[in-house]
Structure 1
Amino acid sequence: MAADLQPRSEISFLETFFCSALAACLAEFCTIPMDTAKVRLQLQKKAPVGEGGHLPKYRGLLGTVATIAREEGLAALWNGIIPGLHRQCIYGGLRIGLYGPVKSFLVGSDLIEDTYLFQKILAALLTGAIAIAVANPTDLVKIRLQAEGKLPPGVPGRYSGALNAYFTIVKQEGLAALWTGLGPNIARNAIINAAELASYDHVKETILKIPGFIDNVFTQLLAGLGAGFFAVCIGSPIDVVKSRMMGDSTYRSTLDCFIKTLRHEGFFAFYKGFLPNFGRLGSWNAVMFLTFEQAKRFLFGAA
């Protein structure tokens, strides 16, 4: 009987999927205003020199949030929340749900405690790529809705909501259009997933080796913030290209978007929205990993 009360060291794929999807949806809801600000900053193009010299509309995280709230209403900061939740249910559930099984497959279940960092990175790259290939349509619709600004009176928006956006894109652009930007999206999410999961896994293991640290809320928050920092440093250039391709259909390819952005705006354009991106990813990872760990513990008794 006593053995039954011991924490479980492993939970099933479906249990992991449920906990990670729940955690990802909560993190998405809490942080989407920063994500909306990040998308607007990334889509904002540099004003041509000598043509009025006007300041950019969006400036910094708080400035962008304030501008959107003032001009479009507070609810506009949650534009894209429905496809965002769709995305997290699918992508958030799969990328973490598959991480453990893929890692075990790569190293063998008997050696899972001795996994090297590069094996964690490889497992996370694979699960991130698989998950976003399935979830790409939800990402596309989320970006399209977030990119919508305030329109003049009498001018209707492109989409009336998430479901309308899915149907409109398919009707006007074809089914394949839902996978627009798949290349940079796979690259971005595979890399960011590797940065997040592998760094969280590794940072947490490292912290737990320090005398006095245990696997508690504080350790999980530290590891989550570390995962967010690594993710935004590595993934920001790909994230900018992905956002621009999904939000603006004038680019012919990933390479075309990369070259035009670099030529017209310079290298640092790839780090537009860095602070809101880190603010969002740092807080997103802290909320997500903390919720995930606690959900495993309280719902399924996992250690």
Structure 2
Amino acid sequence: MSDPNQISFAQAFFCSAFAACFAEFCTIPLDTAKVRLQLQKKVGVDEGVGLPKYKGLLGTVKTIAREEGISALWKGIVPGLHRQCLYGGLRIGLYDPVKTFLVGSAFVGEVPLYHMILAALLTGALAITIANPTDLVKVRLQAEGQLPSGVPRRYSGAIDAYLTILRQEGIGALWTGLGPNIARNAIINAAELASYDKVKRTILKIPGFMDNVYTHLLAGLGAGLFAVFIGSPVDVVKSRMMGDSTYKSTFDCFLKTLLNEGFLAFYKGFLPNFGRVGIWNVILFLTLEQAKRAVRG
């Protein structure tokens, strides 16, 4: 399948990593709020404690900023950028080559949706397997503010977190939560990339629409909504396993969350998650399309 607009993998990786890092920097305050909401467990009336500390996206952002300072909203940005450089660059950069491999280089016409989904599942799983340590450290740093006042912080920064985890928990600990993380990221990658690909192609068939920022905006929002709806349950389990070491396994975390808090607990932080992922996808795909255009000249 010869495409005059096709770029090399190295160029695709650079464009994807740049776009993903830019989107991450712009939206990590919303991700921090999402992680705090997901880690916040249901409060029982018999526990003798007050109302939940965090309420909603804006309320959580405001509480974190007031109690910990504005900079706390960007906690985890360094490993977050590490993650996006690796994960974002690989999952997006490999998507078109893997899609072409699946249909065959001689294929002509529109790639079937199931091939788009399979390609995104494969690249998402591969990319997060490599990038899992960066994801773990990002979640650990974002969760630091959950510690009671006066309790010393576990990590002074990203590098210290990597070294401390290696020293205290062993190298295998850096891949804690890999199972749900592969599930989450493979599914969300498929939801984002395949839906963006499909929605964009569908929009371009509508008279009056062209391959421009308006089309990229609509396709990015659609991809974000679909990704959050599909990926929220595994996202909650992933965040809890990475932020709380008391869970024995992915199934143990899933079961305890379901039994103690009900099914809706898997959609905790849905609005901030959509706010974050929706905006993230718009920024990502707008930046990615412009970066690719610049590379093509």
1:102 aligns with 2:131: no
Distance 2:136 2:184 in 1: 14
Contact 1:104 1:112 (8 Å CA) reproduced: no
Distance 1:46 1:119, change over 3 A: same
> Do the aligned partners of 2:32 and 2:75 also contact (CA within 8 Å) in 1?
yes
Write the deviation string for residues 104-129 of structure 1: whole angstroms up to 9, x where unpaired. 11001222632111110000000000
Which secondary structure does the structure 2 equivalent of 1:59 belong to? Answer: coil
Counterpart-to-counterpart distance in 1, 2:186 and 2:149: 41
Quote the residue 1:127 is aligned against.
123
Query: Is 1:289 the equivalent of 2:288?
Result: no
1:1-303 aligned at under 5 Å gives the runs 8-52=4-48, 54-111=50-107, 113-149=109-145, 155-301=151-297
Tell me the secondary structure at the aligned position of residue 256 of structure 1: helix
Mapped partners of 1:89, 1:112: distance in 2? 32
Name structure 2 gaps, 5 residues minimum.
none
For 2:209, the aligned partner's letter is: F
1:298 deviation in Å?
A: 1.5
Give the aligned residue type for 1:130.
L
Change in 2 beyond 3 A, CA 1:150/1:263: closer
Which moves more between the two structures, 81-90 or 291-300? 291-300
Q: Find the aligned partners of 2:146 and 2:250 in 1 and give their Cα distance.
A: 28
Large movers: runs of 4+ above 4 Å: 150-154
Distance 2:292 2:89 in 1: 13
- Indicate the RMSD between aligned Cα atoms, in angstroms: 1.3
Contact in 2 for aligned 1:34/1:280 (Cα 8 Å) = yes
TM-score, normalization by structure 2: 0.97
Superimposed CA distance per residue, residues 65-118 of structure 1 (whole angstroms, 9 cap, x where no aligned partner): 000000000000000000000000000000011101110110012226321111
One-letter code aligned to 1:278: F
What whole-Å deviation, never above 9, does each CA across 1:224-251 have from its counterpart, x for those lacking one? Answer: 1110000000000000000000000000
Counterpart-to-counterpart distance in 1, 2:28 and 2:47: 34
Percent identity, aligned pairs only, is 76
Q: Deviations over 1:108-153 (max 9, x none)?
A: 1222632111110000000000000000000000000000116566
Moved more, 53-62 or 130-139: 53-62
Structure 1 residue runs of 5 or longer lacking an equivalent are 1-6
Instruction: State the shift of 1:275 in Å.
Output: 0.2
Letter in 2 for 1:99: Y
What is the distance in 2 between the residues matched to 1:112 and 1:143? 43
